[in-house]
Amino acid sequence: MISDLLSGAGGSETWSERLGPGAIVLRGFATAQAANIVAEIQQIIAQAPFRHMETPGGFRMSVAMSNCGELGWVTDKAGYRYQAVDPDSARPWPSLPTLFRQLATEAAAQAGFANFMPDACLINRYEPGARMSLHQDKDERDLTQPIVSISLGLPAQFQFGGLKRSDPVSRVTLTHGDVVVWGGADRLRYHGVLALKTGDHPLLGACRLNLTFRKAV
Ligand code: MD6
Ligand code: FE
């Protein structure tokens, strides 16, 4: 794995690991801001609580979700989509905190994607046993825009496959503060998260949080 030194949020040192031509892990990029990110998430979920959504096939997702930004990703029996209104409250999603916007734009720029302007942030909460099966992120309109993902709390085994579901899958451990950016030729690669192992993280306890920033429209 090629590893390069670069500067993380607030000028701290981080390492990057390339997963593909358009995909990179920025190790510890968000660590210095983790407590501030968690404080923002607490305010968001006070307005738009975590909930277990239902897949179009009728399964309850093991990951609990919320959103902030102009648009939120939702799933129910009608399908997957982005919408401006939280279906649970019928109110707009909480706005995207300035800190989130700055981190996402800065991480994307470090990965070679200039001027990334997310309009949606999906917040995922994993408790022990929660997992996400292999999927592609393809509900966004402009696939030239990357996705930026911030991981906090307990470590997770991230699966990174190819453009076909049946392609071989590699595993990457994502730990507290790691940021993944992917786009370009890697934008539609299949990926997932193996069942979270139990543990006790100093900031988040028995929990992993993942934020994914997207340009949905
Ligand atoms: C997760 N992440 O890490 C789930 N999708 O909990 C994703 O599904 C994801 O991390 C697209 C881009 C980055 C991601
Ligand atoms: Fe995804």
CA–CA distance from 159 to each of 69, 134, 140, 192, 201 (Å)? Answer: 27, 8, 21, 5, 22
149: CA distance to ligand 1 center in Å?
6
Q: What are the residues whose beta carbon lies below 5 Å from ligand 2 (ion)?
A: 137
Is residue 104 lining ligand 1, measured as CB closer than 6 Å?
Answer: no
Is the distance from the beta carbon of residue 132 to the nearest atom of ligand 1 less than 6 Å?
yes
Per-residue pLDDT at 99: 98
The protein residue whose alpha carbon is closest to atom 8 in ligand 1 is 192
Looking from the CA of residue 135, the nearest atom of ligand 1 is 8
Q: How far is the CA of 12 from the centre of ligand 1 (A)?
A: 24
The greatest distance separating any two alpha carbons of the chain, rounded to the nearest whole angstrom, comes to: 46
pLDDT tens for the chain, 217 residues: list them: 546 766 666 566 679 999 999 999 999 999 999 999 999 999 999 999 999 999 999 999 999 999 999 999 999 999 999 999 999 999 999 999 999 999 999 999 999 999 999 999 999 999 999 999 999 999 999 999 999 999 999 999 999 999 999 999 999 999 999 999 999 999 999 999 999 999 999 999 999 999 999 999 9
State the pLDDT at residue 14.
Answer: 79
What is this structure's pTM? 0.95
| 3-state secondary structure at position 73 | strand
In this structure, how many other beta carbons lie within 10 angstroms of the beta carbon of residue 137? Answer: 19
Residue of the nearest CA to atom 12 in ligand 1?
Answer: 147
pLDDT at residue 12, rounded to an integer: 67
Confidence (pLDDT) at 120: 98
Question: Is the CB–ligand 1 distance for residue 159 below 6 Å?
Answer: no
Round to whole Å and give the CA distance between 123 and 74: 11
Domains of the chain by start residue, with CATH: 3-164+172-184+194-214 (2.60.120.590)
* Nearest ligand for residue 187 CA: 1
pLDDT of residue 9: 65
- Averaged pLDDT of the chain: 95
C-beta 23 within 6 A of ligand 1: no
Q: Measured in angstroms, how far is the CA atom of residue 58 from the centroid of ligand 2?
A: 19
